[in-house]
Amino acid sequence: MRIDDRSLKGTSGMNENALLLLPAPMEGHGVYNRNSEVQATGLIPALPLLERAAREALLPPASEPIVIADYGSSEGRNSLRPMRLAIWELRRRDGKTRPISTVHTDQPGNDFSTLFNMLASDPDSYLRDDPCVFASAVGRSFYEQILPCESVTLGWSSWAVNWLSCRAAPIPDHVIGTLSGDARVKAAFRRQAAADWRRFLTCRSRELRPGGRLVMVTLAQDEMGQSGYDSLYDQLYGALLDLAEARLITQQELRRMAVVTFARSREEWCAPFAEGGQFAGLALEEFQIFDAEDPLWAEFDRHRDAGVLAARRAAIFRAFAFPSLAAGLDGGLGSPRTGEFFVRLETAMAARLTATLDQGAKPIGCLLLVKVGA
């Protein structure tokens, strides 16, 4: 995690001198690829929307390549299936010879080496059987315009837009802003999430060709305001308190730690489109909330070993959340204590999860957007 000393003025309005913390990329060296089966399963309900988007998107003139952008790819394994599906549908429409450019984008610190090695060697790589597909990457925040104007025909993003651009406010009593007991902290995160969503849409609209399509799948709240992960995050915070009590981290470090992810409600996803059905030249064509299948719970139903379920869940949290937490250590993510911090926190979280089984629904939102003006 990088620390930016811009003031909070105009963002939360509650602490002008607080530091803004940015989310860290996922754990590298293949750890995220090996520990993201929940995300891999959760994106499946959005695949029919992606297939439809690839079928209906307006293609560029025949002399130009077709660009597919993948926003927030991490190490890329979970992008293989959606990319393969999109390429298959585009080939079906347009033949086998047109160059297709796949652009995987993520934060600058993302482990892109693992992504390219995986694309070269994974038996499921979409590069294997199509010599006219060309993969590249962009290491830049998707809260900026990161591709040329009107260059993208198809956009895809899974489990990424729930990450906010920064920590909206210090969180005195949790690592998730909306789980704080302080109403002002919750409100600051809600405002940040609303602003970030509009910023993301504005940037993508610039990049999409008229008639292009963008499909997204990520965390959402159900109609009761539950994200499905609240009790797991409570256990993560409890595990951090355990580490603080054992003096493995200081109180100051604990107070700096945050995971800046936010589950939007239906109203929050749809708000920019509420007036006139369009925002920044994008129309929301489909919006659905599903209860994602939990593959770890399905396994647990077979083995009935709470310790195994807890260890898998802790490993998955380690891969996506621990780097952001470690950035709160003195010395940041590069601290020599990071390795031990990861191991101790994973153990403490697994111990807590073993004692508190959670089978709550895991709502996810799927969106299909169209760039108007074709």
Among the listed residues 106, 207, 222, 346, the single contact to ligand SAM using CB under 6 A: 106
Q: Which listed range, 117-125, 152-160, 184-192, 302-310, lies at the site for ligand SAM (CB under 6 A)?
A: 152-160
Taking the complex as a whole, the smallest distance from the CB of residue 245 to ligand SAM amounts, in Å, to 29
Q: Which two tokens stand for residue 89?
A: 């549908």
Burial of 309 (0-12, 13-18, 19+ CB in 10 A): buried
b or e along 35-72 (b: 16 or more beta carbons within 10 Å of the residue's beta carbon)?
bbbbbbbbbbbbbebbbbbbeebebbeeeeebbbbbbb
The CA distance from 16 to 1, in Å, is 20
CB of 73 to ligand SAM, least distance (A): 5
Binding mask 67-96 vs ligand SAM (x if CB under 6 A, - otherwise)? -----xxx---x------------------
Tell me how far apart the alpha carbons of residues 367 and 213 are, in angstroms, rounded to a whole number: 10
* Shortest separation between residue 343's beta carbon and ligand SAM, angstroms: 21
Q: Which is nearer to ligand SAM, 158 or 180 (CB)?
A: 158
Interface residues for ligand SAM in 320-339 (CB under 6 A)? Answer: 320
Q: Which two tokens stand for residue 83?
A: 């990319």
Residue 43 or residue 263: which is nearer to ligand SAM going by CB?
Answer: 43
How far, in Å, CA of 299 to CA of 372, rounded? Answer: 43
Q: Pick from 26, 169, 249, 370 the residue near ligand SAM by CB under 6 A.
A: 26
Q: Which stretch binds ligand SAM (CB under 6 A): 137-145, 147-155, 309-317, 335-343?
A: 137-145
> Which of 11, 107, 114, 227 contacts ligand SAM by CB under 6 A?
107
Report the C-alpha gap between 48 and 164 in whole angstroms.
27
CB 58 within 8 A of CB 93: no
Residue 180 binds to ligand SAM (criterion: CB under 6 A): no
CA dihedral 195, 200, 201, 206 (to 10 degrees): 130
Interface with ligand SAM by CB under 6 A: which residues? 23, 25-26, 36, 39, 43, 72-74, 78, 106-107, 110, 141-143, 158-160, 163, 165, 320
